[in-house]
Every structure is written in structure tokens, then in C-alpha cells.
């Protein structure tokens, strides 16, 4: 392999995307001048149809070509996919023949025109790169095998290997995984993780930090490590709130609808305040990952005895109420806060679709964990006093432990975050967000979609056209 691991330069690959089930992200530099050939139907027609018929064709007239003031036979208001691909050097990257037949997933090319900025992460154990190890008075399970099993490196991350921000950083051209901000003597020049396992928005978590405390820690480190312009151009990823709702449900099993709504309002208002604090600290590009279907986590299924095929719906309902408030809240912030830019990753449905249709996403089990004990193998992974069981092949599982995903799943999520379309992340993906001009108002807003809430009990949604995400 080349020293920069440039798969393109090494192989000169011909990719034919027929019935593709994974987002493809290609990183390439030092690209030769080669060609792009496009075959297919009207999606790729650059004007050939008008030379094959004597009839007058609609695509030769306005409003086709409206955005470029050029109705030139293409079925679009402006450029079509091959035009943009050629411009961003996919042809140069691969010498590709694109076949659009049954193409299910977005294709994103990274490494081209991506600014050298940072990635900062905030939240709970899903994004914790090792901060809990520093805060905890005793050894934590994630510091030991089998955590890190896939990399032979148990480094405080709650997975068998890398976590989602590690992959996102790689796609952004950041040469090292995002380090834990609380660890001494780490290189934070291209970002840091302030997330801590057990973090909440409300209350005072034990041996952890609230989101507000994480933001204040960022402010303490800011002056010595990053200038204002660099911060403004960098991406800030946040995943927080799961522990608030897990604790609320455990402590208030009989809460009625009004009590639940009041709690959701308290949580989302605090989230807004903490995002505002981060914005006032200089951040402008926010990636908010909405909550997973908490009632479908293996540890929750096990604790509430739901059986193998059911989720704990009270927790799912709280997560849905929370998620429904996020998009409108961020729209309002973008409207009133100059330069505020954001995107929302629909983590809820990304997880739910995988729990419902394991085979579609090449998983063997999605309702139980690879590591643990109990009916769903969900408790005690890595704990010294627990004789937990470890699966033979972790890549066949969606969850590594009772609430955290395997490295395979985390890489999937990162691909979607970086390059997917508005079915999954909107109003733009991370690649679009980091190249979007700083201080410029957003040209699009978050919109509720028909796929915004897939029912946990609904296995028929495979026919709706968005199941491949």
C-alpha cells in the first residue's frame, strides 16, 4: 500500500454500484487525469435523447436548466450527478463507470476540498474516547478486554474497536482518532472528545460530567489550543440525553403523560441552553445525533423482560418526544443566531431499521449483545466479578454490550453521518457542513419527513423505499 493508504492510487478500481447496501466513501489525492463515462437512463442523460428523436422534448426548455439558465436536455433544474462527480474528481479518483441500476445508497467522495479543521465531540458513553477512565476512582470495564477486542486495544471506548467519531475524523482527513480531552499529554490539535460515560443533561452524574460541564471544560482548554477562526470552521458532534430518560423511567415507572412531557421539555430546554453556551464559545457547525430507540437496547429489553421481539415502548416514546423537538429547536437557533449551522442525524430510525431487519444490514443478531450475561446477554461485559459470555464473531452483532454498538455498526453510522442524504441526516451531511461557508445563513432547514418515526413494531416498512439506510 502507498504510504497515505490511497486505495485509489494503488488499485485504480472500477466500481459498479448495482444493488449496493453500504455508503461508499473514497479518499483520494494526487489523482491522474482520467475520464468519466456514464451509462444508464434519464438520470445520467446529458442530452442524448434530443439527438434520437425529432419530437420536441420538455427537457430542452425552461424550467429545466433553471438554476443555470441553460435548458440543455438534462432532466434537472441544473447539473446532474455526473457533472458534479466530474467536478469533484470521482472520475479522476477511480476512472469509474457508474451504473445507476437499483442504486440504493449515496456515494460520497472525501479528501477533496475538505478543510483542515477539527472534530470536537460531546455527550455520553457513545462518544467517550476514554474520559471516564480519568474521572473514575476505580478501574472501569471499558479499560480492559474484551473492549477493544477488534483492535487488540482496550482504551476506554465502549466498543470492540473504534467508535463513530473515529471514523468521521478519518473521513475528514484527520490523521489520528479523536483523543479524550481529560487524558494528559494528548494531541488535541485536530479536535478532542469531551464526552464521558454516564453523562446527563440534568442532575449531577457520579464520576461523570453534564453537557454543561463538558462545554466549560472546552472553554478552559480553548485559549491554549485553538484560535477562534479554527473553532468556527470545525465540527461539533453531540449525543446526549439517553441517561436522563433511562434514569427517569427507572425512578418514575408510573409517570403519566403530562409528567413525561414536562420532563422532555426540561431536558430539551437544557440541551438548547448548553448548545447556546457552546455557540457563544465560538462554535458554529453543529452535528446533533438524535436519541436511539432506547426501549430497544438489549439491556433495556433484559431489564424490562420484553422478550426477544419487543421493545420497551415507554422509553421509545420518550425518545421520540425528545427527537421531535430537536429539529424545530435548531431551526429557530439558526434563524436567530448569526452563523449558526447544524444538521440532525436520525439515529433513532437508523438503529430501529437494523433491529427490525438484521439480514438486510448483514447482522446475525440485533436484539442481543455480543458480550454480557442474561436473557439478552446484555449485562456485565468486562466486569471482573461477572462471568460474561463473549460471542464468537462480534461483526455479526449490532450491539457489542447492552447499549453500545460494535465497531462494524459504528463505521456504518459514520458513513451515513458523513455522506448520506436527507432520509438519514438533514439538512446536510457532515461533508457538506464542513465545507459550507462560515457565517453564511443556511440555505435549507430541517424538515419533518414521512420516515421521521418508524414504529418499533412495524416490520412492513421495508417496502417504503428508505430501508437501506
Return the number of other C-beta atoms located less than 10 Å from residue 4's C-beta.
Answer: 14
Catalytic residue at 401? yes
Catalytic residue at 322? no
Catalytic residue chosen out of the listed positions 125, 159, 193, 284: 125
Catalytic residue chosen out of the listed positions 312, 322, 404, 415: 404
Catalytic residue at 463? no
Catalytic residue chosen out of the listed positions 76, 376, 401, 451: 401
Return the number of other C-beta atoms located less than 10 Å from residue 30's C-beta.
Answer: 10
- Rg of the chain taking only CA atoms, in angstroms: 23
Residues serving a catalytic function are: 125, 401, 404
Amino acid at each position: 500500500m502507498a504510504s497515505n493508504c490511497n486505495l485509489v492510487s494503488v488499485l485504480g478500481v472500477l466500481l459498479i454500484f448495482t444493488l449496493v447496501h453500504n455508503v461508499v466513501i473514497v479518499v483520494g489525492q494526487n489523482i491522474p487525469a482520467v475520464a468519466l463515462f456514464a451509462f444508464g437512463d434519464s438520470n445520467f442523460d446529458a442530452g442524448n435523447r434530443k439527438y434520437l428523436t425529432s419530437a420536441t422534448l420538455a427537457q430542452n426548455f425552461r424550467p429545466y436548466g433553471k438554476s443555470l439558465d441553460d435548458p440543455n436536455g438534462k432532466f434537472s433544474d441544473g447539473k446532474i450527478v455526473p457533472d458534479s462527480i466530474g467536478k469533484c474528481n470521482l472520475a479522476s479518483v477511480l476512472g469509474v463507470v457508474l451504473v445507476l441500476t437499483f442504486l440504493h445508497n449515496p456515494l460520497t467522495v472525501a479528501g477533496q476540498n475538505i478543510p483542515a479543521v477539527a472534530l470536537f465531540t460531546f455527550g455520553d458513553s457513545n462518544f467517550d474516547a476514554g474520559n471516564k477512565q480519568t474521572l473514575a476512582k476505580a478501574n472501569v470495564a471499558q479499560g480492559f478486554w474484551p473492549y477493544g477486542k477488534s483492535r487488540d486495544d482496550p482504551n476506554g471506548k465502549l466498543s470492540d474497536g473504534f467508535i463513530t467519531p473515529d471514523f468521521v475524523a478519518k473521513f475528514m482527513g484527520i490523521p489520528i482518532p479523536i483523543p479524550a480531552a481529560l487524558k494528559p499529554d494528548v494531541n488535541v490539535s485536530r479536535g478532542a472528545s469531551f464526552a464521558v460515560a454516564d453523562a446527563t443533561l440534568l442532575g449531577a452524574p457520579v464520576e461523570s460530567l453534564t453537557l454543561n460541564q463538558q462545554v466549560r471544560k472546552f472553554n478552559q482548554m480553548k485559549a491554549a489550543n485553538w484560535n477562534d477562526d479554527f473553532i468556527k470552521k470545525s465540527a461539533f458532534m453531540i449525543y446526549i440525553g439517553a441517561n436522563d430518560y433511562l434514569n427517569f423511567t427507572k425512578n418514575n415507572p408510573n409517570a403519566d403523560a403530562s409528567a413525561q412531557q414536562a420532563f422532555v421539555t426540561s431536558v430539551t430546554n437544557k440541551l438548547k441552553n448548553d448548545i447556546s453556551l457552546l455557540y457563544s464559545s465560538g462554535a458554529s457547525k453543529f452535528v446533533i445525533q438524535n436519541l436511539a430507540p432506547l426501549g430497544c437496547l438489549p439491556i433495556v429489553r433484559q431489564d424490562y423482560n420484553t422478550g426477544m421481539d419487543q421493545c420497551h415502548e415507554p422509553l421509545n416514546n420518550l425518545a421520540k418526544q425528545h427527537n421531535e423537538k430537536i429539529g424545530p429547536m435548531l431551526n429557530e437557533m439558526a434563524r436567530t443566531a448569526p452563523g449558526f449551522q447544524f444538521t440532525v442525524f436520525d439515529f433513532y430510525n437508523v438503529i430501529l431499521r437494523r433491529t427490525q431487519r438484521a439480514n438486510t444490514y448483514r447482522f446475525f443478531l440485533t436484539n442481543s449483545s455480543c458480550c454480557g450475561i442474561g436473557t439478552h446477554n446484555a449485562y456485565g461485559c468486562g466486569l471482573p466479578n461477572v462471568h460474561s459470555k463473549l460471542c464468537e464473531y462480534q461483526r455479526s452483532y449490532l450491539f457489542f454490550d447492552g447499549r453500545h454498538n460494535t465497531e462494524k455498526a459504528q463505521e456504518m453510522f459514520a458513513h451515513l453521518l458523513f455522506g448520506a442524504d436527507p432520509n438519514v441526516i438533514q439538512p446536510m451531511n457532515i461533508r457538506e457542513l464542513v465545507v459550507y461557508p462560515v457565517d453564511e445563513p443556511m440555505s435549507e432547514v430541517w424538515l419533518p419527513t414521512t420516515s421521521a418515526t418508524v414504529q418499533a413494531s412495524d416490520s412492513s416498512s421495508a417496502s417504503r423505499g428508505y430501508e437501506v439506510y
